[in-house]
Amino acid sequence: MERIRKNFATAESILEPPHLISMQRLSYEKFLQMDCDPDEREDFGLQAILKNVFPINDFNGVCSLEFVRYKYGEPKYTVQECQQRGMTYDIPLKIVVRLITFDVDGETGVQSIRDIKEQEIVFRTQIGWAKKLGLPLVIHARDSFPEIFAMLDKSGTDGLRGVFHSFTGGAEELEKALSYNFMIGINGILTFKNSDLRDVVGKIPYNRLLLETDSPFLAPTPFRGRRNESSYLLHIAAKMAEIHNLTIEEIGAITTRNALELFQLSNA
């Protein structure tokens, strides 16, 4: 049998090896569709994932949460600043959802749409409820301070009280938050090594300080990464006391008084 030998060493042309990092980056950018109009994104990547997750329906069939669009906010730090701080570069992702409520016929089970609300409308409704019922409004701002402040200013805050829960804003956001009749909730993030909250917490007046656990998440150092619990508050209180040059007992008394006032609880 005749043997056939092939020699590829003398090929006339060699394929240029691909730049793998560039390929990965292009694939990631295509997945995110960052440069597209939020209402004109194609049905793949992150857009497809969110559309697959939603709608989220309740068990009784009386409401449904639908995905509308997503957009990107401004990063808190540049790539260079993240490299200097040893942090991961990230960009806030803001998702607009729509809440649809239904009336269900008890005999036939047929649904009819009663109301459709998007996120900002829902928040405005919650502000109205808090005013009407005299209840505190608990706000968790995740890269959305401008939108929240705009809504509060538009709705008016007379007769409104509440707390900015798990506060992570800077000095500018703190100043604006304090302009309302709101407490500032501080949790285990304050104890983290690279936390920016230390300078901010020092600017919070005593009568606006609140201690929070955010349990089961955000356990303070040295328990970071574990399931959080209320007993860990002492570590947050200790750091807060250090910043304000007070004792833990004084911080405990201040934050207890503020919590009782905010939630109108008895100290019995």
CATH number at residue 245: 3.20.20.140
The whole-angstrom separation of Cα 119 and Cα 99 is 7
pLDDT at position 90 is 87
Number of folded domains that form the chain? 2
DSSP classification of residue 40: S
Q: Which residue has the tokens 């570590």?
A: 235
Mean pLDDT over the full length of the chain = 87
Distance from CA of residue 254 to its chain's centroid? 27
Domain limits for position 113: 25-118
Share of the chain above pLDDT 90, in %: 47
Question: Confidence band (pLDDT; 50, 70, 90) for 116?
Answer: low
133 CB-side CA count, 13 A: 11
Distance (Å, rounded) from C-alpha 137 to C-alpha 160? 8
User: Edge to edge, what strands does the sheet with 111-118 contain?
Assistant: 56-57, 63-72, 93-104, 111-118
pLDDT tens digit string along 63-115?
Answer: 888 888 898 888 888 888 888 888 888 888 888 888 888 777 666 666 666 66
264 and 187 share one domain:
yes
Kindly report the CA angle at 212 between 211 and 218, in degrees rounded to 5?
130
Rounded to whole angstroms, the Cα distance separating 252 from 244 reads 13
Determine the pLDDT at residue 111: 64
Q: Does residue 268 have a pLDDT over 60?
A: no
For residues 105 and 165, membership in a common domain is answered with no
**107 shares a domain with 144:** no
pLDDT category at 210 given cuts 50, 70, 90 is: very high
13 located within any domain: no
Q: 167 and 76, same structural domain?
A: no
H helical segments located in the chain: 20-32, 45-53, 79-85, 119-133, 145-155, 171-178, 197-201, 233-244, 248-263
pLDDT digits (tens, 9 = 90+) for 221-239: 999 889 999 999 999 999 9
Residues 196 and 265 both lie in one domain? yes
Residues 176 and 107 reside in one and the same domain? no
- The residue among 202 and 63 whose pLDDT is bigger is 202
153 and 63 within one domain: no
Same domain, residue pair 173 and 267: yes
pLDDT digits (tens, 9 = 90+) for 142-176: 778 888 998 899 889 888 999 999 999 999 999 99
Whether the CB-CB separation of 61 and 104 falls below 8 Å is answered with yes
Q: Is residue 64, in this structure, part of any structural domain at all?
A: yes
Rounded to an integer, the average pLDDT of 40-44 is 90
| 3-state SS class at 251 | helix
The reported pLDDT for the residue numbered 102 is: 77
